[in-house]
Each structure stands twice: as C-alpha cells, then as structure tokens.
Amino acid sequence: MSSMTPLALEGRAVVGARLASPSAARNRAPIASALAERLAEGARVLEIACGTGEHALACVSARPDLVWTPSDPDPASRASADAWAVEAHGAIRHALDIDVMRQGWAEGLSADAVFCANMIHIAPWEAAEGLFEGAGALLAPGGWLYLYGPFLEGDATAPSNLDFDASLKARHPGWGVRALADVDALAASCGFERAERLDMPANNRLIGYRRSAPGRRTS
C-alpha cells in the first residue's frame, strides 16, 4: 500500500482460499443483474477492490460473454478471487495487484469498463482520486466507470448512511461516505460525466460515469 492507512476488509467467512462475505451474498445478485443490463457484449471489465471475488463470479455467471479481471492490493483477497474464478471456466482472469493510490497504476492496462464496489468510502479520498485518474487513463471515450456503494445526497441521504458515515470517521478520520456531488466533480475533472444513478438495496447506489473527454488529470 502507498500509505499507512489500514486496509478495511468486509466481514468474511473462510473456506480454504475462498472467502465469503455476508454483504456480498446480499448484494451480488442485484449488482450482477444491473451490470448485466448495462455492459456491452464481450466487454472487458477491470474490477478495482474486488474483495472476496464473489461479485466477479456473480457477474460472469449472469453474463458469460464478459471478460472480467479482478484486482485488490490485499493478497488474501486476490487468492480468494482466483479460487472463486475456477468456477467461471476462464471468464475471470488472474487477479491483479492494484492499489489505486499508487501513481501510474493504470499504465499498460486497458478495459471497456471499470467496476468498483464499496471502496471509496472506506479508504482515503486520495483513493477515489487515484481511481478516477487511472480509469480516465485506461478507458477510451465511451468507456464506463461504475461505482457501487452508499453516498451522501443532501436532504435525500438515508439516516442509515449518516450513521455509517459517523462510524467510518470514528474508525479513521480519512474515511467517510462520500458526497455524490464531490464524486461528480472529481469525475468531471478526470473526463467523466455521470450518466446513471440507480437505486440499489439497503440505500446503496450504482453510479455510472461515462468517459467523455480527456480530463485535466492523468495517471
């Protein structure tokens, strides 16, 4: 990792190398369904912060034409993603070691879409910046960056997300549920425009940013 910030991992059960996340068990079907309706035929998807790797398997099970590459800076997460990937019969590539706070992480990579669930609120804001800068560098115009997770949306913010924000900040002052307006502004500075905002279970959102133009920032 490029900072001293601890990696926050979701709650997990362990079966050999395969890790099982209760939250992924709850949200993987709605995430896979939403992405399956949106991703282009044969899309190459780079997943940032894959955690256990269960979202990758759910998504390629829903859309076997996808070519999915998970990534995570945490070695146990990568081992778990590789172990789950065996069930995908080649549709899920070997998990990459990507820390989006590392300058230039996107060099040599290309994809049609980037997907990142539940990371930007539980990492420093610099991780969100690194995510958008790198995604802006590796996606061509028309490519998509999908974020899944909770967001602050002014008066429309769910009370549970305000409580979650407070608990995150108590754990680490650099963490916190991000304001969607701040993420939109960051996206715009990196050449993205928000084109989708989908309500998901438990007051989460799937936010779709489309790569529109070269951004001011590059990785």
Q: Which residues bind ligand SAM (CB under 6 A)?
A: 7-10, 21, 23-24, 48-51, 72-74, 77, 98-101, 117-119, 122-123, 127
In the bound state with ligand SAM, the residue whose beta carbon lies nearer, of 150 and 215, is 150
Smallest gap, in angstroms, from Cβ of residue 155 to ligand SAM? Answer: 27
Note the Cα 188 to chain centre separation in Å. 18
Smallest gap, in angstroms, from Cβ of residue 152 to ligand SAM? Answer: 18
In the bound state with ligand SAM, the residue whose beta carbon lies nearer, of 42 and 201, is 201
In the bound state with ligand SAM, the residue whose beta carbon lies nearer, of 30 and 212, is 30
In the bound state with ligand SAM, the residue whose beta carbon lies nearer, of 21 and 211, is 21
In the bound state with ligand SAM, the residue whose beta carbon lies nearer, of 12 and 44, is 12
In the bound state with ligand SAM, the residue whose beta carbon lies nearer, of 23 and 157, is 23
Note the Cα 92 to chain centre separation in Å. 16
Smallest gap, in angstroms, from Cβ of residue 18 to ligand SAM? Answer: 14
Burial classification of residue 2, based on how many CB atoms lie within 10 Å of its CB (0-12 exposed, 13-18 middle, 19 or more buried): middle
Q: Annotate the chain with three-state secondary structure.
A: CCCCCCCCCCCCEEECCEEECHHHHHHHHHHHHHHHHHCCCCCEEEEECCCCCHHHHHHHHHCCCCEEEEECCCHHHHHHHHHHHHHHCCCECCCECCCCCCCCCCCCCCCCEEEEECCCCCCCHHHHHHHHHHHHHHCCCCCEEEEEECCECHHHCCHHHHHHHHHHHHHCCCCCCCEHHHHHHHHHHCCEEEEEEEEEHHHEEEEEEEECCCCCCCC
Smallest gap, in angstroms, from Cβ of residue 37 to ligand SAM? Answer: 19
Smallest gap, in angstroms, from Cβ of residue 202 to ligand SAM? Answer: 12
Smallest gap, in angstroms, from Cβ of residue 195 to ligand SAM? Answer: 22
